[in-house]
Amino acid sequence: MTTIDLRADEMAPSAPTVLRGEIGMVERPRRRWLPFSPWHLLLMPVAFLMLVPFVWVIMTSLETLAQTQHFPPILWPGSFQLNNYPRAFSSVPFGTWFLNTTIVTVSVVLSNLVFCSLAAYGFARIKFWGKGIAYFFLLATLMIPVQVVIIPTFLIVKQMHLLNTLGALIVPNLANVFGIFLLTQFFRTLPIELEEAARIDGASRLKILITIVLPLSLPALATLAVIQFLWTWNDFLWPLVTIYKESAFTLQLGLMSFQGSHVNDTNLLMAGNVMSMLPMLLLFIAAQRYFVRGIATQGLKG
């Protein structure tokens, strides 16, 4: 099937431009029967529907409790209750949950960058006994649905005495097959001559990986990092089964318990929700091209 050229950034202007994050556009001869493109008639309502939940949640987070319990809904609160945010933040240990999630996410992203780079270099560049079968088995695990492995993995993590610790969320996710696949595909597209020259000069393979291959692979590494960040930050099922102590909650578990305890304080609930979404939304807007590329790569992995 399709192989993906992640170096589209630097190398191939003809490659699918979506992979550059900058999605290209198609020029068409225009027949003007409207003062604007008819596509706006479709896209404007769609954009409205996609964004209206966000706007409504933000507005609610700035209302008084009485205003939230009003029908018809108050779409524009006259005065903004900005102190809903500090109130929501201090009513539950949001700070701890935020810190926990950050520790878990950063550890998982960093360890994936290291382990996946190492493995991908081995698979892409070194001939060794059993390579084909090892790679096949790794890729085959991508087919395994999470619910099949969740019960045994829970027992393994319990055996390791990691339940209710952040370790339960980090250790099973240290290396991800998707990352190995993505980097292997990318390393294979790099020109091998530089590496061969370095080999002749006596450089070790590890040194070649660090000084030659990785610096050429920054777009692929960034793609892996943001996708892994998104998965780990927003993960729910695995934290749900392994963590039940509030001090070790991730943001998602905390948000759930916050919702449970503030069902009727809609304004505070929405303020907490906005705070929980904000880091990921800002990262998405800042690194949109890498998210887009990461998703397009997932799409092509079949």
Partner 1 sequence: MATVASSRPGAPSFARRALRSDHLAGWLFVLPSVFLVALFSIFPIIWGFVLSLQKASLISPNRPFVGFDNYTRIASDPRAVKAATNAVIYTSLFVPTSIILALFLAIALNQRIRLIRFYRLAVFIPVAVSTIATGIMFLWVFDANFGIANWALGGVGLGPFGWFDSPTGAMPSLVIMTVWGWLGFDTIIYLAALQGIPQELVEAAAVDGASRWSTFRNVTLPLLGPATLLLVVWSTISAVQLFDEVYFVTKGGPLGATSVPVFYIYRLAFTSLYGFGAAGYAAAIAYVLFIVILILTLIQFWLGNRVVHYSS
Omega cis (within 30) before 13: no
Which range binds partner 1 by CB under 8 A, 56-64, 82-90, 192-200, 213-221?
Answer: 56-64
Q: Which of 11, 12, 37, 83 binds partner 1 (CB under 8 A)?
A: 37
For the bound state, the minimum distance from the C-beta of residue 61 to partner 1, rounded and expressed in Å, comes to: 10
Q: How far is CA 140 from CA 48, 134, 232, 247, in A?
A: 41, 10, 22, 36
How many residues contact partner 1, by CB under 8 A?
Answer: 105
Q: Does 259 bind partner 1 (CB under 8 A)?
A: yes
Q: Which stretch binds partner 1 (CB under 8 A): 86-94, 173-181, 191-199, 210-218?
A: 173-181
Sorted by sequence, the CB contacts under 8 Å of residue 97 that are 6+ apart come out as: 249, 250, 251, 253, 254, 255
Among 53, 78, 191, 202, binds partner 1 (CB under 8 A): 53
Position 134 contacts partner 1 (CB under 8 A):
yes
Distance CA 289, CA 43 (A): 21
Using the structure block, give the residue that is written with the tokens 């027992």: 155
**Rounded to whole angstroms, how far apart are CA atoms 283 and 250?**
18
Q: Which two tokens stand for residue 116?
A: 């996946």
Nearest distance, CB of residue 237 and partner 1, angstroms: 6
Q: Is 255 in the site for partner 1 (CB under 8 A)?
A: yes
- From the list 63-71, 81-89, 189-197, 215-223, the region that binds partner 1 by CB under 8 A is 63-71
Q: How far is the CB of 73 from partner 1 (least distance, A)?
A: 5
Is 180 a residue that touches partner 1 (CB under 8 A)?
yes
**286 scored as a contact of partner 1 (CB under 8 A):** no
Could you say which of 11, 12, 52, 218 contacts partner 1 (CB under 8 A)? 52
Shortest reach from residue 300's CB to partner 1, in Å = 7
Tell me the closest approach of the beta carbon of residue 260 to partner 1, in angstroms. 10
Among 35, 78, 145, 191, which residue interacts with partner 1 (rule: CB under 8 A)?
145
Phi-psi map region of 5: left, alpha, beta (phi>0 left; psi -120 to 50 alpha)? beta
Burial of 182 (0-12, 13-18, 19+ CB in 10 A): buried
Considering only 33, 71, 76, 136, the residue that binds partner 1 (CB under 8 A) is 71
Cβ closest to partner 1, residue 171 vs residue 216: 171
Does residue 192 interact with partner 1 by CB under 8 A? no
Please, is 146 exposed, middle or buried when counting C-beta atoms within 10 Å of its C-beta (0-12, 13-18, 19+)?
Answer: exposed
Q: Which is nearer to partner 1, 74 or 216 (CB)?
A: 74
DSSP-derived secondary structure for 150-207:
HHHHHHHHHHTT-TTSTHHHHGGGSS-HHHHHHHHHHHHHS-SHHHHHHHHTT--HHH
Please give the residues from 6 up to 35 whose contact with partner 1 meets the rule CB under 8 A. 16-19, 23-28
